[in-house]
A and B are shown apart, each in its own frame.
Chain A
Amino acid sequence: MRKTFELCELDCAACAAKMEDGIRKIEGVSHVQVNFLTRKLTLEAPDDIFEAVLKKAEAVCRKTEPDCRIKR
């Protein structure tokens, strides 16, 4: 499943790149893109573990930019 989410308060381009790197390392992620300009996160992972992957991705976002939230 591939889904796109909006990222609130994404203010730093370097952080966006770090987030992308971090999320890519999560197990099960087959594709990820953090677009700093459109503030969009595109995440692809198998359906059955998507929710778990998304949770881990959220943790990565918080870690790199504490104000940044994934809008569901």
Chain B
Amino acid sequence: MTRRQKILLIRIIAAAVTLAAAALVPADGKIKPFLFLVPYIIAGYDVIKRAAVNIIHGQIFDEKFLMAAATLGAWALSEYTEASAVMIFFQIGELFESIAVGKSRKSIAGLMDIKPESAAVLRDGKEVRVSPEEVEKGELVTVRPGEKIPLDGIIVQGSTSVNTAALTGESLPRDAAEGDRVVSGTVNLTGAITVKTESVYKDSTVAKILDMVENSSSKKARTENFITRFSKYYTPCVVGAALLLAVVPPLFAGEWIKWINRALIFLVVSCPCALVISVPLSFFGGIGGASKRGILIKGSNFVEALAKADTVVFDKTGTLTTGTFTVTAVHPEKMSEKELLSVAAAAESRSNHPIAESIIAAHGADIDSSRIGKVNEYAGMGVEAEIDGEYIYAGNRKLMEKAGARWHGCHIAGTVIHIAKKGEYLGHIVITDRLKPDAAAALGELKRLGISKTVMLTGDRAEIACSTAEEAGVDEVRAELLPDGKVEAVESMLRPGKPVAFTGDGINDAPVLARADIGIAMGAMGSDAAIEAADIVLMDDRISAIPEAVRIARRTVAIVWQNIIFALAVKAAVLAAGAFGYANMWLAIFADVGVAVIVIINAMRALSAGKRADKK
């Protein structure tokens, strides 16, 4: 408890004790009101003071003013015990509310705990501790085991394993050695490393993430705007109703005291705080919970859109697939598979093309470079290499025609590399971009969540695209698209009220990310462009983060609606009961601060939305 909260608690206790004493002390009718004044003042002096200040400032629809008016009204009606007790009860509610708000602020601060406090930078051969903001680009910083990496950079010395859980939600440490890129906000676990910084703190990953989470509340959801507008009219309306209730019925029926009493109940219920606080808090909780799982959402409007997402569109290479090529089939004509692979690897050994690399990787064993003579690369065709004095051709159909070899196609979809020795066809190797291991499961999950359509966009040939799509379980494929084509494809899917999410790697599909209702960038750790362009950023490249994000968004939106409906229903019920004389001041206070406390506690469940989803 903070100092303010402790003081409030002491005042509540003191007021409760003096109230009991005032009620028990035998005193005659004239002194009694003054005895009750003691607990009333102890409990409510600040409320009365604030109310007075607010009137001077012309702020009449403030919670404190309404409380003061209600209790002074009760006082005027000689309801001394009630006036004091209501004030005490109100303060108890305020105390609870303050504790609940403090708790939620703490949990949010916990999310912000990824900020590195200091950096040990090497200057003039000496290590100096400065705040990360003071480190320049290109300086060397040392990071000891257990410390947070302060800035994005490349390891120039040492090797270690890095815990990226704070950014990605992935608890398995990653190994990093000299030449590897490390990201600010992650924790260095095992070895001391020296990192050459690649950016200043302001542009680092951790600063960007913090900025995004903190400012996510500026992009407001429709529900949020609705509540803000609603509360602007709600209080004046209820206060107006209270005035009418106090004046109109007694003009006809008399019984002024009875009606004024009921009007006071209206005043107490008229504060919109529960609503104003719970909706943004729920969204913030959801966004915070998601960020713990490595899912960064740029605003509550995107939480709302994602919860309603109708179509999820994926880019193929690098998003549904790993983006790295692997050999999936070796079909020799006469020799063994191993021999064909060995010949191909030797021919490709001087090339650093991704296809060449995949063949070399599949071959595995060392290649004797003395066997290789002259090598020619034909752009868009393949390579010609002199191996053991003979010309070997490895490439596509065009190269085979050039070499004069009688090639034939393959029944397996993928990129086919034909190999020929002079004019003699040796066979072919099929290379495919492999599907991410969690792709099929994630797409199944999206279906179960009721996403009506999944689509894959790619610039690749239709046959490769179709086989990938089938394997992943995507509903629709649009292949052989040029970069503009992807934007057009997404545009053609946009329908009002049915949000379309596009998922890409964020590197060359920024226009598509921007055009979709919800742009999701994957594997964005350390990629500035992706963080800028997308609405939702996935720190690592798990596809399963997408259904997870949808689940978190839905849960958050559900909590928002629970809170809105609960708060409005209780207030409406108490107002109705109050108008007909079935509610007392106590119930009214519950409808005000009690409801606020309950919705705050409920809103905080959104923070754990990610964790819950994990357990299922």
Contacts and interface: CB of A to CB of B under 8 A. Distances in A.
Contact of A12 (B108, B231, B273): B273
B84 to A, nearest CB: 23
Nearest to A15: B62
Interface residues of A, number: 18
Contact of A63 (B59, B63, B215, B272): B59
Interface in A17-41: 17-18, 33, 35-40
A27 B613 CA distance: 47
B271 A37 contact: no
B215 A11 contact: no
B214 A35 contact: yes
A37 B228 contact: no
Nearest to A67: B50
Contacts, number: 49
Contact of B272 (A14, A37, A39, A40): A14
A12 to B, nearest CB: 7
Contacts of B59: 18, 63-64
Contacts of A46: none
A64 B57 CA distance: 8
A52 interface: no
B98 A11 contact: yes
B51 to A, nearest CB: 11
B47 interface: no
Nearest to A39: B105
A18 B273 CA distance: 12
A4 to B, nearest CB: 9
B63 A12 contact: yes
Given A12-B273, A13-B273, A14-B272, A66 B217 contact: no
A71 B226 CA distance: 31
Given A13-B273, A13-B276, A14-B63, A37 B284 contact: yes
Contacts of A14: 63, 231, 271-273, 276-277
Interface of A is mostly: mixed
Interface in B172-218: 214-215, 217-218
Contact of A17 (B50, B218, B228): B228
Given A13-B273, A14-B271, A36 B63 contact: no
Given A14-B63, A37-B105, A37-B281, A66 B53 contact: yes
A35 B219 CA distance: 12
Contacts of A66: 50, 53
Most chain A CB within 10 A, of B108, B231, B277, B281, is at B277
A17 B276 contact: yes
B101 interface: yes
Interface string B262-284: 00000000011100110011001
Nearest to B279: A13
Contacts of B218: 33, 35, 42
B261 interface: no
Contacts of A35: 214, 217-218
Contacts of B281: 13, 37
Interface of A: 11-15, 17-18, 33, 35-40, 42, 63-64, 66
Given A13-B277, A15-B62, A66-B50, 10 more contacts: A11-B98, A13-B281, A17-B276, A33-B215, A36-B277, A36-B280, A37-B105, A37-B284, A38-B108, A64-B59
